[in-house]
C-alpha cells in the first residue's frame, strides 16, 4: 500500500508545482490527492506542469476530488443532472491528468451540503436516485478508463455497511469502487467502543470492491449525549492496526490518504499511522519506477 495525503497543497490542482510535490515527498508520503474546483477544459500547460511535478518527486497521483456538492440525490432533476455531468467531467479530467480514480460523494437532501444529515437521506426514493445517478456516472468513467471511488457515512444515503453493499449490488459496474473510510460510519456508543466489529463488517461486505482508503481517527466527547469528533490518528478510538491489516488483505496496492487535518497536524497523524503499521507488521510500498 502507498501512504498518501489529502492536503499539504496551497489550493486546488492548478497550484501544484515541484515545490509542493517535493514537500509532500519529504513528509514521507508517496501519493497525493488532487482537489479540482473546475475540471472543464484543463489548460494543457498546467496539466503538463503538474504531471512533471509528480514525476520529479516520485509521487503517484492517485485520486481526484471534485466540487459538485450533494446533488446526486436531489429531487430537482436539473440539480441532479448538473451533479451527474460534473462527475462525468471529473472522470474525463482524471484521465487527462493521469489519475486512477475520482471520488464520488453520495450527496444529501440537506441544501447546506453533501455531508449533512436530512430525514429523507435514508429513504428508498433517495437511495434509488443515487443509484440512477451512479449508474450514469459509472458508464462515463468506464468510457474514460478510470474508476469512481464512492464512500459512505452515517449522515448520508449510504449510512451502513449493509446499505453500501446494496448500492454496489444495484449499480453493478466494474468502474465503481469503494473508498474505505470507517470513521464516517461511527453512529453510536457501541460502534465507538468496538470499532473492530465495525471494521470487520465493512471489510467483510465491501473488501472485494475497495480500491482506496481515507485514514482518520475519532474521539468521544464526554457529555450527556454522545458526540464524536475527528482526531489525530493514534489519539482516538479507531483500531488502526485492524484497519490497516484488513485494508492490506483487501487491496495490497491501495492508496491510503490521511485527510481532514490542517497541514500542521499532518505529521503527527502520519507518525500515528506509521506506528500502527509497524505494530501490524505492514511496510508501506514505494511507487513503481
| pLDDT for the residue numbered 8 | 95
Radius of gyration of the chain (CA): 18
Q: Which CATH number characterizes residue 45's domain?
A: 3.20.20.150
pLDDT tens digits for range 107-157: 999 999 999 999 999 999 999 999 999 999 999 999 999 999 999 999 999
Number of domains in the chain: 1
The dihedrals phi and psi of 65, each to the nearest 5 degrees, come to: -135, 120
Question: Domain range spanning residue 7?
Answer: 2-280
Whether 92 maps to a domain, the answer reads yes
Mean pLDDT of 68-74: 90
Does residue 286 lie within any of the structural domains? no
Question: Looking at residue 70, what is its pLDDT?
Answer: 85
pLDDT in tens, 231-282: 999 999 999 999 999 999 999 999 999 999 999 999 999 999 999 999 999 9
Using CA atoms, how far apart are residues 207 and 31, in angstroms rounded to an integer?
A: 21
In a domain, 94, yes or no: yes
Q: What is the reported pLDDT for 228?
A: 97
Q: Which of 59, 14, 53 is nearest to 35 (CA)?
A: 14
Q: Is 3 helix (H, G, I), strand (E, B) or coil?
A: strand
Say if 288 falls within a structural domain: no
Residue 229: phi and psi, rounded to 5, are -135, 150
Is the pLDDT confidence value at 289 over 80?
Answer: no
Q: Is residue 184 part of a domain?
A: yes
Q: Pick left, alpha or beta for residue 8 (phi over 0 → left; psi -120 to 50 → alpha; otherwise beta).
A: left
Q: In the chain, what is the straight-line distance between the N-terminal and C-terminal CA atoms, in Å?
A: 15
Answer whether residue 176 is part of any domain: yes
Residue 208 lies in a domain: yes
Q: Is 49 left (phi over 0), alpha (psi -120 to 50) or beta?
A: alpha
The alpha helices in 150-207, defined as continuous H runs, are: 161-171, 189-193, 195-206
Task: Give me the percent of the chain exceeding a pLDDT of 70.
Answer: 100
Q: What is the pLDDT of residue 149?
A: 98
Q: d(Cα 17, Cα 34) in Å, to the nearest integer?
A: 12
Q: Is position 41 within any domain?
A: yes
Q: How far, in Å, are 21, 23, 212 from residue 9 at the CA level?
A: 8, 9, 20
Amino acid at each position: 500500500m502507498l501512504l498518501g495525503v489529502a492536503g499539504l497543497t496551497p489550493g486546488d490542482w492548478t497550484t501544484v508545482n515541484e515545490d509542493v510535490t517535493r514537500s509532500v515527498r519529504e513528509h514521507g508520503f508517496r501519493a497525493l490527492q488532487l482537489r479540482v474546483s473546475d475540471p472543464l477544459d484543463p489548460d494543457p500547460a498546467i496539466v503538463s506542469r503538474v504531471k512533471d511535478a509528480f514525476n520529479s518527486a516520485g509521487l503517484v497521483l492517485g485520486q481526484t476530488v471534485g466540487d459538485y456538492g450533494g446533488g446526486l440525490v436531489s429531487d430537482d432533476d436539473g440539480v441532479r443532472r448538473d451533479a451527474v455531468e460534473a462527475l462525468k467531467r471529473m472522470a474525463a479530467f482524471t484521465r487527462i491528468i493521469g489519475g486512477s480514480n475520482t471520488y464520488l460523494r453520495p450527496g444529501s437532501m440537506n441544501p447546506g451540503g453533501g455531508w449533512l444529515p436530512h430525514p429523507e437521506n435514508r429513504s428508498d426514493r433517495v437511495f434509488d436516485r443515487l443509484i440512477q445517478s451512479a449508474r450514469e456516472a459509472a458508464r462515463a468513467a468506464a468510457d474514460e478508463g478510470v474508476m469512481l471511488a464512492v464512500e459512505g457515512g452515517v449522515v448520508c444515503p449510504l449510512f451502513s455497511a449493509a446499505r453500501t453493499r446494496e448500492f454496489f449490488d444495484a449499480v453493478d459496474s466494474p468502474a465503481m469502487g469503494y473508498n474505505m473510510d470507517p470513521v464516517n460510519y461511527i453512529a453510536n456508543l457501541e460502534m465507538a467502543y468496538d470499532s473492530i466489529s465495525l471494521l470487520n463488517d465493512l471489510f467483510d461486505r465491501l473488501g472485494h470492491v475497495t480500491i482506496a482508503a481515507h485514514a482518520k481517527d475519532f474521539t468521544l466527547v464526554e457529555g450527556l449525549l454522545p458526540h464524536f469528533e475527528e482526531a489525530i490518528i493514534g489519539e482516538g478510538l479507531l483500531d488502526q492496526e485492524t484497519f490497516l491489516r484488513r485494508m492490506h488483505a483487501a487491496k495490497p496496492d491501495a492508496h491510503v490518504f490521511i485527510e481532514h487535518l490542517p497541514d500542521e497536524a499532518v505529521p503527527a497523524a502520519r507518525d500515528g499511522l506509521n506506528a500502527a503499521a509497524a505494530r501490524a507488521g505492514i511496510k508501506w510500498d514505494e511507487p513503481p519506477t
